[in-house]
Chains A and B, each alone.
Chain A
Amino acid sequence: MAALKPLLDAECGTTNPLIKLSQFYTRDNTLVTQDGLIKPATNNFTSANLTGGSNATIDELVNEYHRPISAPNTFHLEGLLTGLRLADDNVDNTNKHEYEWTTQFLDSFTNDFSSHSANMPNKNNNFSSSVIHPPTNHQIQAPPHIINDFNIQQHSQWMPWNEQSYIPQSTSFTLNSNSNFLDQQSSTIDAGFDNDTVKAAQNILSLLQETQFAADTEFKDFVEHVAVGNGEESTVDANKQQATGDAKDVTVDKWINEFSNELSNESQWQTDWTSAAANLSSLDDQIPRSQSWLRHLMDNGDSYSEYKFAKTNTFLEHSNPFEEGLKRLEAHDIVNAVLLFEAAVQKQSNHVDAWLYLGITQSENEQDGPAICALRKCVELDPKNLQAYITLSSCYANELLTNEALDSLRKWLANNDKYSHLLSNRRPQTTTDEPRLIDELAFEELQELFLQAVSLSNNPSDIDSDLQVCLGVLFHLPGDYDKAAECFNTAVLAKPNDALLWNKLGAALANGGQSEKAVDAYYHALTLSPGFVRARYNLGISCFNLSAYKQAVEHFLTALKQQSDGIGPQGTHVQMSENIWRTLAIAIGHLQRPDLEQSVINKDLTKLLDEFHIE
C-alpha cells in the first residue's frame, strides 16, 4: 500500500494521476458500471496527453484511449440498449459530440483557418464545424459526414425516408470513436430469434446504414446477424433474448419516429416544390409551353448569340495572344488576359480553349454576359467540354436563368465519364430542345443524380471538387444557400488554393445572409488572386449589406479601377462592368453625398478615385 501512497495522497500543486484518469470515465451519462460495460466518454481530449504530434492518426488516438477499458466478459445487450436509449434521448447530440470532439482535436492543428469554424449556424450543422480546416489527411476524412448527411437529409426530403433505393455506401467513418465499443467476443445469435426481433434488427440495420451512429461497430455486426438470421452458438441468455427483443422494438420505433420527424420539419420548403411540381401541369395560370419557348428564344437568343468584342484591342497584333493570355492570367492580370483571349479568338475562331478561357476570365471579370457568349461558342465547338459547362452553370445562375443553369449541369453530368452512367440508368429525358418552365421535376431529378454521384466515391479523402461545385450551384438555384455553402466548402477543402472556389463559397454565404463569413472567404480569394474583380465586387456587396457603405464604395472603385487599367496605352473604350457601377451608385446614395451623384452618372472614375483616395 505504501507504494500506492503517492497516487492516493493529495499533493499540493500536482494533479493526482488517478483523478486525471477518472475524469475520462465520470462525465458520460450512459456510463453503466454495474455491467462492466462502459461507453467511451465523449470527452474533451484537448487537455489530455495526445500521443505524438500531428502525425498520429485519429484512429491511433482513439484506440489509445480505449485500451484501458476492460472488456466485459459477457455480451450484455440490455446494458447496451440502456446506453442506446439514453443516447437516443439526445439523438442529435450523439453525433454532435463526436464531431465536437473531432473538431476540438482538429482545432489544435489549425492556424488562421480556425476563424471559419465558428459555428456556421445552419440547420444541418452537425458536421460543418469539422469541415473547415486546412486539408491534412485527418480533415479530408470529414467530408463523408457531410455527404452522408446530405444523402440522408436530401434523400429523405425527396422520397419517403424508409424507401431506400440508394443508401450511401461510403460509411467508412474513420473518426468513429465507438469502434471498440464492445468487447472482442464474436457476436453470435441463437437461431431461435423470433421474426419480430429479426425485423426490428433489419430496421435498426437500415437505420444504422443511413446514419453515422455506430457505423462500424460490433453492434452493427450483431444487428446484421440478427437481421440475416444466422444460426450460430449464442452466449446470450435465453431469458435475456426475449427481454432484449422487446427492448429493441421500442428503441427502433422511437428512433424511426424521431428521425423522420426531424427530417420532415426541415424539409417543408423543399417538399412544397414536389407538390408544386405535381400541380404544375394543372395550374391554369401556367403559360402554354409554346409561348414560353418563344419568349425564351426572344429574351435570350439575342443577348448571348454573338460575342461583342472590345472596340479597340492593342493585342490584336500580338503573335501568340493565347499563350500570353494564359501568362497574364497566371499573374492575376485578369483584364489584360481578357483582351488577349479576345485577340486569340479573333485570330482563330475555332480555338476551343481560347473561347473557354475567355469565358472563364470574363466571369472573373464580373462580366457574365460576355462570359456566357464565349462559353456557348466553346461548347458549340466542343460539346464535351466539362469546364465550360460548369462555368456556364454558375453564370446562368448569376443571371437567374434557372432552366439554362439546370441544363448546363445536366450536360456536365452527361459528358462526364465518371458519372454519365448514372444518367443512362434513368428514364430517357424528353429529347425536345424546347426549354421548359422552371422545372421542379428536372431540379429534383438532377439533385438525385448528383447525390448519387457523390455517393459513388468510396474513399473519403477523394473529393471531386467539380462535383461539389455542381452540387453547390444546384442548391444555390432555389435559394438553399446554406447547403450550397457547405458544398463549396467541401470543394475548397480539396483545392484550398483555388480563388474561384473561395469566391463561390463567399457568394453562397453572403446570399444566405452570412456576410461576415462571406467577407472572410473573399479575403482568401483576393489573397490568392488580387486582380479578381468579381471577388472584390462581392466584397463590396457584403460590406454594403453590413452597412459599411464607405468601404463598399472603396471596394467598388478599386474593382472599377482594375477594369479600366487593362486597356493599354491607346484604348479609350473602357469595358467596365455595369453591375459594379450600378451598385456603386446605390452605395454612394447611402453615403449622403449628392455632390457625387453627377460623377457617378457620368462615370467619372478619375474624380471618384480621387475623392476616395484610391491609388
Chain B
Amino acid sequence: MTKEDQLQATVAFAEINKRADSQPGLIKKVNAVIVFDVTKDGKIQKSWTIDGKQGTLYEGKPKEGTTAQVTITVDDNDFVDLASGKANAPSLFAKGKLKVKGNVMLAQKLSTLFKEQSKL
C-alpha cells in the first residue's frame, strides 16, 4: 500500500463523483478546468482534475490538450473539510491553508460540487 492511498481526498473525490452521477450536468456547471494538488506533510501527493468542459472528474493531471484554468493546492485534511462543507474556500484561503493559481472566481463554483447549494 503506497502512501498515496492513505489520502482522505481519495474518498472525498469518490463521493463527489457519486454526486455527479446522480446529477448529470453538475460538473459541467463548473464550466472550467480545475486541478487539485492535494498535499500531505507539505508535499504534493496526488492531483485530481475536474474538467468542467467535458463534465468529468478524474485522478491525475489534466489530459493531453486540456489546460488547467485554476490550480488549487491544499492539504489533505483541509480538503476534506472543504469537501464536506465544513470550511469554505475563502476562509481557508484567508488562513493560508489554500493556495490558488489562476482565475480565482472560477474556483468559487466548486462549492456546488461539495455540498448542496441553498437557493436564493
Closest to A506 in B: B118
Find out whether the CB atom of A476 lies under 8 angstroms from the CB atom of B120.
yes
Q: At the interface, is chain A mostly helix, strand, loop or mixed?
A: helix
CA of A12 to CA of B31, assembled, Å: 75
Chain B residues positioned under 8 Å from A518 (CB to CB): 118
Scoring A residues 539 to 566 as 1 if CB is less than 8 Å from chain B, else 0, what string do you get? 0011011000000000000000000000
CA of A506 to CA of B118, assembled, Å: 8
CB contact between B22 and one of A280, A443, A585 (< 8 Å): that residue: A585
CB contact between B117 and one of A402, A511, A585 (< 8 Å): that residue: A511
Q: Which residues 574-596 of A have a CB within 8 angstroms of B?
A: 579, 582-583, 585-586
CB contact between A478 and one of B67, B86, B105 (< 8 Å): that residue: B105
Chain A residues positioned under 8 Å from B100 (CB to CB): 272
Q: Which of A22-30, A72-80, A254-262, A391-399 contacts B (4 or more CB under 8 A)?
A: A391-399
Q: Which residues 1-36 of B have a CB within 8 angstroms of A?
A: 19, 22-23, 29-31, 33
Task: Indicate if A8 sits at the interface (CB-CB under 8 A).
Answer: no
CB contact between B85 and one of A284, A508, A513 (< 8 Å): that residue: A513
Chain A residues positioned under 8 Å from B87 (CB to CB): 513
Task: Indicate if A486 sits at the interface (CB-CB under 8 A).
Answer: no
Scoring B residues 74 to 107 as 1 if CB is less than 8 Å from chain A, else 0, what string do you get? 0000000000011111100110000010111110
What number of residue pairs across chains A and B have CB atoms under 8 A from each other? 102
CA of A479 to CA of B90, assembled, Å: 8
Find out whether the CB atom of A513 lies under 8 angstroms from the CB atom of B86.
yes
Residue of A511, A538, A585 contacting most chain B CB atoms (<10 Å): A511
Chain A residues positioned under 8 Å from B90 (CB to CB): 269, 479-480
Find out whether the CB atom of A273 lies under 8 angstroms from the CB atom of B104.
yes
Task: Indicate if A510 sits at the interface (CB-CB under 8 A).
Answer: yes
Chain A residues positioned under 8 Å from B63 (CB to CB): none
Residue of B19, B67, B86, B116 contacting most chain A CB atoms (<10 Å): B116
Task: Indicate if A297 sits at the interface (CB-CB under 8 A).
Answer: no
Find out whether the CB atom of A541 lies under 8 angstroms from the CB atom of B104.
no
Provided the pairs A479-B111, A512-B88 are in contact, do residues A542 and B118 lie with their beta carbons within 8 angstroms?
yes
Task: Indicate if A286 sits at the interface (CB-CB under 8 A).
Answer: yes
Find out whether the CB atom of A280 lies under 8 angstroms from the CB atom of B118.
no
Task: Indicate if B108 sits at the interface (CB-CB under 8 A).
Answer: yes
Find out whether the CB atom of A400 lies under 8 angstroms from the CB atom of B109.
yes
CA of A541 to CA of B69, assembled, Å: 30
Find out whether the CB atom of B102 lies under 8 angstroms from the CB atom of A276.
yes
Task: Indicate if A220 sits at the interface (CB-CB under 8 A).
Answer: no
CB contact between B116 and one of A283, A400, A476, A541 (< 8 Å): that residue: A541
Task: Indicate if B72 sits at the interface (CB-CB under 8 A).
Answer: no
CB contact between B108 and one of A478, A512, A534, A586 (< 8 Å): that residue: A478
Task: Indicate if A132 sits at the interface (CB-CB under 8 A).
Answer: no
Q: Which residues 256-284 of A have a CB within 8 angstroms of B?
A: 265-266, 268-269, 272-273, 276, 280, 283-284
Find out whether the CB atom of A398 lies under 8 angstroms from the CB atom of B119.
yes
Find out whether the CB atom of B105 lies under 8 angstroms from the CB atom of A544.
no
Chain B residues positioned under 8 Å from A407 (CB to CB): none
Distance from A579 Cβ to chain B, minimum over Cβ atoms (Å) = 8
Which B residues are within 8 Å of any A CB, using their own CB? 19, 22-23, 29-31, 33, 67-69, 85-90, 93-94, 100, 102-106, 108-109, 111-112, 115-120
17 contacts between A and B (CB under 8 A): A268-B93, A272-B93, A273-B105, A283-B103, A398-B117, A399-B29, A400-B31, A438-B103, A440-B104, A479-B89, A508-B118, A511-B118, A513-B85, A513-B88, A541-B117, A544-B116, A582-B22
Which A residues are within 8 Å of any B CB, using their own CB? 265-266, 268-269, 272-273, 276, 280, 283-286, 366, 368, 394, 397-400, 402, 438, 440, 443, 473, 476-481, 503-504, 506-508, 510-513, 518, 534, 537-538, 541-542, 544-545, 579, 582-583, 585-586
Query: Nearest 7 A-B pairs (CB), nearest first?
Result: A285-B67, A507-B118, A510-B118, A394-B120, A479-B108, A269-B90, A538-B118
